[in-house]
């Protein structure tokens, strides 16, 4: 299937999932929050969105495995392609009610070294009415209500606009910002941070705390197609392990190499 056609289909799936999440939020009872084995929260919104996304992906790409935060279908080791899904990225933000959560759907491709590269991504921010998508052969695109436009990195702000986590700040975040010098900081949740670097409404976003591959892969594809990079602690483009270690190392979403040295100085 053509990547542009697939991106449009996945965008509709992500938007449908987002609409379900909002419907659940409108009658959400915090008494229904459950904790997973790692202590992270999960709600009926996570599980409902997961089921909707997986059911619809299977209709259009039945042979491609799906690795989701809430349960997987198929075996990535048997395929050159694999979907990565976070049906509700930013569950803590959903519970807080600040709207800074997203629906993430990525398509990844196995590399020669056995790791995985993100090649297509869709991110829907339900409460902001915004969907971003992009990837190999697909221009980075932002869709808002009836408006759709192509986007590129670079805010053209006099001071760099830096986005950081709302719920997961660390001492390294603080020292990185200090070394960066004068800047504008905004607290933003979920993969929306990476998408805002992609669409030029921000310039960089460092992350030192723990994340998983499904948290970043979709927005990563959008960022790459917009001319930016998601760099690991070695300063190289981040890739993924979908089999043995789903956790990401620290990463920096950026479009300009002038911040990379500061980034490298803050690695262990």
Classify residue 162 by burial, with Cβ atoms within 10 Å: 0-12, 13-18, 19+.
Answer: buried
Asked whether the predicted pLDDT for residue 32 surpasses 70, the reply is no
Q: What is the pLDDT of residues 74-119, one digit of tens each?
A: 999 999 999 999 999 998 888 888 999 999 999 999 999 999 999 9
Within 13 Å of residue 251, how many CA atoms lie on the same side as its CB?
Answer: 28
pLDDT at 5: 96
Q: What is the pLDDT of residues 213-264, one digit of tens each?
A: 999 999 999 999 999 999 999 999 999 999 999 999 999 999 999 999 999 9
pLDDT at 165: 81
pLDDT at 43: 83
- What are residue 9's phi and psi, to 5 degrees? -65, -45
pLDDT at 56: 98
Asked whether the predicted pLDDT for residue 73 surpasses 80, the reply is yes
DSSP state of 238: P
pLDDT at 145: 83
What is the layout of strands, in order, in the sheet containing 130-135?
Answer: 66-68, 81-89, 102-110, 116-125, 130-135, 138-144, 147-150
pLDDT at 170: 79
Q: What is the pLDDT of residues 163-218, one digit of tens each?
A: 998 666 778 888 999 999 999 999 999 999 999 999 999 999 999 988 999 999 99
Domains and CATH numbers, the chain: 3-150 (3.30.540.10), 161-264 (3.40.190.80)
Share of the chain residues as helix, strand and coil, in percent rounded to the nearest 5: 35, 30, 35
Asked whether the predicted pLDDT for residue 35 surpasses 70, the reply is no
Task: Give this prediction's pTM.
Answer: 0.95
Average pLDDT over residues 135-146: 94
Chain mean pLDDT for the chain? 93
Q: What is the pLDDT of residues 54-64, one digit of tens each?
A: 999 999 999 99
Read off the tokens for 177: 């910002």
* CA neighbor of 215 nearest in space, from 128, 88, 109: 88
pLDDT at 167: 65
């Amino acid at each position: 299937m053509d990547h542009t056609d697939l991106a449009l289909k996945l965008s509709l799936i992500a938007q449908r999932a987002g609409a379900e999440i909002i419907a659940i939020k409108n009658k959400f009872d915090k008494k229904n929050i459950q904790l997973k084995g790692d202590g992270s929260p999960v709600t009926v919104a996570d599980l409902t969105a997961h089921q909707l996304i997986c059911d619809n992906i299977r209709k259009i790409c039945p042979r491609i495995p799906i690795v989701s935060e809430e349960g997987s279908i198929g075996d990535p080791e048997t395929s050159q392609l694999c979907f990565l899904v976070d049906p509700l990225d930013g569950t803590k933000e959903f519970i807080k009610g600040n709207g800074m959560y997203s629906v993430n759907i990525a398509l990844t491709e196995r590399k020669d070294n056995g790791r995985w590269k993100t090649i297509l991504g869709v991110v829907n921010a339900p409460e902001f009415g915004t969907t971003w998508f992009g990837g190999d052969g697909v221009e980075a695109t932002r869709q808002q209500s009836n408006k759709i436009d192509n986007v590129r990195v670079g805010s053209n702000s006099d001071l760099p606009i830096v986005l950081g986590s709302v719920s997961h700040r660390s001492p390294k975040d603080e020292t990185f910002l200090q070394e960066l010098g004068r800047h504008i900081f905004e607290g933003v949740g979920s993969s929306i941070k990476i998408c805002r670097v992609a669409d030029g409404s921000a310039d960089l976003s460092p992350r030192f705390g723990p994340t998983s591959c499904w948290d970043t892969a979709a927005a990563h594809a959008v960022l790459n197609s917009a001319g930016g990079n998601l760099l690991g602690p070695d300063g190289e483009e981040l890739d993924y392990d979908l089999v043995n270690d789903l956790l990401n190392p620290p990463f920096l979403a950026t479009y300009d190499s002038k911040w990379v040295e500061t980034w490298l100085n803050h690695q262990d």
